[in-house]
Amino acid sequence: MNEIFLDTETTGLSVNDKHRIVEIACIETNDLTPTKRIFHKIINPQREVPEEAFKIHGFSTDFLRNKETFDKVADEFLEFIKEKKIIIHNASFDLGFLNYQLKLIRKNEIKRNNIIDSLEVARGKFPGSSNSLDALCRRFNIDLSKRIKHNALLDCELLREVYINLLDA
């Protein structure tokens, strides 16, 4: 079975405040080796991007204004992840946003049965330690020099390296 490493960037931290996705990235692997199939979209959230979020990912309201909206990319995204094991760091966050936006456009939510949360795996192996993606990269000596801002595609690549190291830890 192929795996998908998935990450999102958003306008904020909570769907309760009607925050939305601004970037979705997925890297497909087969036995954890990249297949070269990638899904990557920058998305118009149809709302303002708060300054705090802009500082994290660098996507401004003006930059996102002419991008596709979530409803235009949802079917392609769902087809890309269909019947694959999905690996996400802090899955409740990303799935919360994805399922919120899928619900808004009357699409079925993503089920948790094919989801592996690498944050839960890390907490099981390193209880009491910081298990953020950055902290795990430092723990496993994974190069973070390209990570100036949060970027979903780069974070998927980093997550793949972290996950492989977690399996060996």
Q: Which residues are catalytic?
A: 150
Per DSSP bridges, beta strands 33-44 and 21-30 are: antiparallel
Q: How far apart are CA 77 and CA 26, in angstroms?
A: 9
Q: Per this entry, what is the length of the chain?
A: 169
3-state class of 57 per DSSP?
helix
DSSP 61-119: HHHHTTSEEHHHHHHHHHHHHTTSEEEETTHHHHHHHHHHHHHHTT-PPPPGGGEEEHH
Cβ proximity of 145 and 158 under 8 Å: no
3-state class of 43 per DSSP?
strand
